[in-house]
A and B are shown apart, each in its own frame.
Chain A
Amino acid sequence: MCKGLFSLLILFLFYTNVQAQSEYNFSEEENINAKIADVQLNTSDGGMMLSNLYNTSPILVALVFSRCTGICSPFLLQLSDNIRTLNSKEKFKVLVVSFDPIDSLSDLEDMDNRLGLNKKGQWTFATTKQIDALNSSVGFRPIWDSLRKQFDHDALLVGINENGYIAKKLTGLRGISDLKMMIQSIHNEFIPSYPLPRKNNLLSCFTYDPATGKRKPSIGLLILVLPVVLTFGLILWLAIRSKKWRRATNNHLAD
């Protein structure tokens, strides 16, 4: 009987086609805390290993290609704007690496001149023959579109700390606050983060008002008290009922 019930339960679980709901996009989590591939770079200062760069200071790695007619230029421009506006006192470098095998160093230098990125000498431009190793170590997957003669790819910025570990990744064009967090992360500062209550999140512990920044206790906290109330109720009920049971036992003994 038990065996039968057990098999039924297993069958039920097998066949209940439940889609575990994916609320979050995990691409920015991929390879976090893993080491970036220590590839040989070709830069205007000559050949060097990537570790030579991050050993001196943490780096932000941007992956682009010079023929890009899409996101690469706006991405680099915004990054440079954000860095300027943020004016962080922390020490870090920006490494722009081309993931297009046919890019040369001069293509990248042209790109820099066109966009006016490296005015303070904080930026390094590089190509590498080991781009596949670099891409896979940071979880970056550009796809060549032979019709458009373009790569289909994300705008990816990878934060590397002084030990060469990927501390944070940002995809897409992002604001100053995200960049600030990335700079904190590559300097090994802890960044607290917490999902804000959403519409389908009915039992949050706090309500948060983004306008005032204030949080108030919410219904979720009551759920924490519920087991105590239920147990208290149950014990109280048992205590009251047990008077009768004891009386019955005593009467039984007296008889």
Chain B
Amino acid sequence: MSAQSLKKTTATWIIVIMTLFITAIIFGILMRLNQGNDYKMSSPGFYATMTTHGLTMIAIWSVAGMVAINYLLTRYIKVPNSLSVFALVFTVIGAAMLWYATFVGQFHAGWTFLYPLPLVKIAWAKWATPLFFFSLVVLGVGWLVWSVGLLVQILKKYSLKQAFAWQHLSKKEPEVKTPPLILISTVSLIGIILSLIVAVILLALTFAEYYSGGAFVNDSLLMKNLIYFFGHTIANESLYLGLAALYELMPEVSSRPKFKTTWYVALAWNCTMVFILTAFFHHLYMDFVQPLGLQMVGQLASYFASLPAAGVTAFSVFVLVFRNHIKWSLTNVLFFIGIMGWLIGGVGALIDATISNNVALHNTLWVPAHFHTYNAMGNVLFCLAFFYWVANEFSGSQTKTKAQQLKTALLLIGGFGFVLMFYLAGADSVPRRFSNYPAEFKSAPLMATLGAVFATIYLIAILLIFIEILRKCVKAFSAS
């Protein structure tokens, strides 16, 4: 693949993702303002916005990680540009269909679409339901082809055992060394492929019910299991793609030796691959018909999937920065804050995934609190770090960022302030997914307003970073 076309495709992806991101943040701020009674949205309008915001965010930050590894993998393997272009086209079409279904058709069942709600009683245009599901098909096809394509390319150079770094488990210095980028990409791609296959089955069952005219009805428990098998898995695997970029770039931009795959890194990521598959059961604690055994598996898998990978990554980053002279650029600052966000959000998630706590925290704002922490202050920052680094590559120099401290301060205050308001409200039992809070939740509107203020500060930081990235990305199109 020509380096130039790779640059152009990557730059296009970055511009598309960042534009959608900024719009989706504005949707998020409007929702918080509505919850704070500072701005008036109709209820269907709120839920249509929430559905668009949720799915757009999940979609763009899943592909952002793919964009990063797609670019970085070219250091080790051949990657055909057509895969990325194919996924780009499908993502743009899928997103357009989704937005049409939600904003024109007023589809508003949330990003996990709350089966059987869209099928039994629709409070929106009739055509919006199939259009919403077809938008998922289009997005899914694009990403499935891309993920399988990348995995095939990895396997053209590394055997499956090598891609999983199993040789590192038995030997300290194996003949073939697996770079961490290959290991984490393989593990994450397999997870993404699995979650997309779950989505295929889920959508097939949904369409079967929709078009059967009542002859076939799905089982609610099965559908809920499938929805979270897909949703939880893809959200987590996307984050791991961001981490793959961190493993590859953070030492490099800090002028430190590259991270190596050791036995414990290999073991941790293999554990993550296995355990993440059953962690989603923690979304079904309130489903009393689900056997108790599966609920326990959900709790244990939540610990085993996250702790080893978090442990080795935090340890590696700590060793990298501790008492070392690091050249801090915006890239490694973003990676570093991202690790903090990922760990804080991860602890929030584990608190919620513990059955005894879930009884109190289930469906409260604690849930958006933890997933916004490891997304907005975790994965987003990993990917932004890559975007910033690659934009510098396009412009030919890793120059010092203008007003770096201001950007970092705005990001920290805005981002952590925004999620703190969710945590405080969640701890106070304020429910999630309420367009307006009942009078009983006295503190909820104030926390929503403050959340909106902090989110605006976060937005300003993102805009400043984007403007700088954009200026440099444009050079990818002009350079020959």
| Partner-B contacts on A (CB < 8 A) | 2, 6, 9-10, 13-14, 16, 18-24, 26, 163, 192, 194-195, 197-198, 200-206, 215, 220-221, 223-224, 226-228, 230-231, 234-235, 238-239, 242-243, 245-246, 249
Shortest Cβ distance from residue A166 to the other chain B in the assembled complex, whole angstroms: 13
Shortest Cβ distance from residue A186 to the other chain B in the assembled complex, whole angstroms: 17
Q: Which of A18, A192, A246 is within 8 Å of B159, CB to CB?
A: A246
Q: In the complex, which range does the number of interface residues on chain B fall in?
A: 35 or more
Shortest Cβ distance from residue A239 to the other chain B in the assembled complex, whole angstroms: 4
Among B96, B134, B159, B289, find the residue whose CB has the most chain A CB atoms closer than 10 A: B289
Shortest Cβ distance from residue A38 to the other chain B in the assembled complex, whole angstroms: 14
Q: Would you mind naming 13 contact pairs between A and B with Cβ atoms under 8 Å apart? A: A21-B213, A21-B217, A22-B121, A194-B220, A195-B220, A202-B216, A204-B219, A205-B221, A206-B289, A227-B201, A230-B197, A235-B190, A239-B155
In B428-448, the 8 Å CB interface with A consists of 440
Residue pair B277, A197 in contact (C-beta under 8 Å): no
Q: B130: nearest residue on chain A (CB-CB)?
A: A13
Q: B132: nearest residue on chain A (CB-CB)?
A: A13
B463 lies within 8 A of chain A by Cβ:
no
Residue pair B156, A245 in contact (C-beta under 8 Å): yes
Q: Which of B121, B152, B194, B216 is within 8 Å of A227, CB to CB?
A: B194
Residue pair A21, B219 in contact (C-beta under 8 Å): no
| Partner-A contacts on B (CB < 8 A) | 89, 93, 96-97, 100, 116, 118-122, 126-127, 129-131, 134, 148, 151-152, 155-157, 159-160, 190, 193-194, 197-198, 201, 205, 209-222, 225-226, 229, 277, 288-289, 440
Residues in chain A near residue B100, CB distance under 8 A: 10
Residue pair B155, A245 in contact (C-beta under 8 Å): yes
Given contacts A14-B127, A16-B130, contact A203 B201 (CB under 8 A): no
Residue pair A249, B157 in contact (C-beta under 8 Å): yes
Residue pair A242, B210 in contact (C-beta under 8 Å): no
Q: A208: nearest residue on chain B (CB-CB)?
A: B289
Given contacts A227-B229, A231-B194, contact A23 B221 (CB under 8 A): no
Residues in chain A near residue B151, CB distance under 8 A: 235, 238
Residue pair A9, B134 in contact (C-beta under 8 Å): yes
Q: Which of B97, B193, B210, B215 is within 8 Å of A6, CB to CB?
A: B97
For the complex of A and B, list the 4 residue pairs with the smallest distance between their C-beta atoms, beginning with the closest: A242-B155, A21-B214, A239-B160, A204-B219
Shortest Cβ distance from residue A198 to the other chain B in the assembled complex, whole angstroms: 6
Shortest Cβ distance from residue B310 to the other chain A in the assembled complex, whole angstroms: 24
Residue pair B288, A192 in contact (C-beta under 8 Å): yes
Shortest Cβ distance from residue B7 to the other chain A in the assembled complex, whole angstroms: 23
Complex Cα spacing A127 to B100, Å: 50
Complex Cα spacing A26 to B190, Å: 42
Given contacts A231-B190, A238-B151, contact A223 B217 (CB under 8 A): no
Complex Cα spacing A242 to B152, Å: 8
Residues in chain B near residue A215, CB distance under 8 A: 289
Residue pair A228, B277 in contact (C-beta under 8 Å): yes
Residues in chain B near residue A194, CB distance under 8 A: 220-221, 288-289
Residues in chain A near residue B194, CB distance under 8 A: 227-228, 231
Residue pair B120, A21 in contact (C-beta under 8 Å): yes
Shortest Cβ distance from residue B255 to the other chain A in the assembled complex, whole angstroms: 33
Among B89, B159, B222, B225, find the residue whose CB has the most chain A CB atoms closer than 10 A: B222
Residue pair B222, A205 in contact (C-beta under 8 Å): yes
Q: A194: nearest residue on chain B (CB-CB)?
A: B289
Q: A9-B134, A223-B226, A227-B201 are in contact. List 8 more A-B contacts (CB 8 A).
A: A13-B127, A21-B120, A163-B440, A201-B217, A231-B197, A235-B160, A245-B152, A245-B155
Residues in chain B near residue A16, CB distance under 8 A: 130
Q: A226: nearest residue on chain B (CB-CB)?
A: B201
Given contacts A2-B93, A13-B131, A249-B156, contact A198 B288 (CB under 8 A): no
Given contacts A201-B218, A238-B155, A239-B160, contact A224 B96 (CB under 8 A): no
Residue pair B193, A234 in contact (C-beta under 8 Å): yes
Complex Cα spacing A204 to B290, Å: 12
Residue pair A227, B119 in contact (C-beta under 8 Å): no
Residue pair A223, B221 in contact (C-beta under 8 Å): no
Q: A238: nearest residue on chain B (CB-CB)?
A: B155
Complex Cα spacing A204 to B217, Å: 9
Q: Which of A9, A220, A230, A239 is within 8 Å of B221, CB to CB?
A: A220
Residue pair A220, B219 in contact (C-beta under 8 Å): yes
Complex Cα spacing A201 to B127, Å: 25
Residue pair B159, A21 in contact (C-beta under 8 Å): no
Q: A224: nearest residue on chain B (CB-CB)?
A: B225
Residues in chain A near residue B155, CB distance under 8 A: 238-239, 242, 245-246
Residue pair A227, B120 in contact (C-beta under 8 Å): no
Complex Cα spacing A226 to B197, Å: 9
